[in-house]
Amino acid sequence: MSVVKSRLEVQLAAAIAGRTKDARDITRLRDERNSAVSEYNLVMSERDNVLRESEQLRSTISSLELKVEAAEKGRKAAVEEAERARVEFENSQLQAEALASSLSMDSSYLKEIDRLRRELDRMQAELLGNETSLTVYWTSCLNGCCCVFSVISITLRD
């Protein structure tokens, strides 16, 4: 019996040692599992943060795209307005040149009128020197540019 008792004691000691070892393994495995779950929760939290930031970036990009589109429309409108202003300026410039040319023509007409008046005065002086009677009517247009001389009667004495 002593051998049996001794064998039983050895088996009991082995079983207790195995149980102690199993308890340590269970504790170690439980700690590893808790660590893995904690790491998983941390990774999932980071994932959620990344997804949230990604959505914020998408939202920001969308609003910036809308702003860019609005700015592009504004730029196009400004370019069109600038083109209209340029065309209007060129038209105004052409009108100013035409007006200046017209004024130049008016000026040349006025010079011609002045020359004709001097010539008329000279002719009158010559005719009056010859005891001439001359009646002249002066007719002018509304803008004073053209004129018509009408000689009504000329009486000459020899």
Return the domain boundaries, the chain. Answer: 2-155
**In this predicted structure, what is the pLDDT of residue 152?**
43
**In this predicted structure, what is the pLDDT of residue 96?**
84
Q: Is the pTM of this model over 0.75?
A: no
Cα dihedral: 9, 12, 13, 19 (round 10): 180
Structure tokens at 143: 């803008």
Q: Is the dihedral of CA 40, 45, 49, 52 positive or negative?
A: positive
Q: Which residue has the higher pLDDT, 49 or 10?
A: 49
122-132 pLDDT, tens digit per residue, is 888 888 776 54
66-115 pLDDT, tens digit per residue, is 999 999 999 999 999 989 988 998 998 888 888 777 776 667 777 888 88
136 has a pLDDT exceeding 50: no
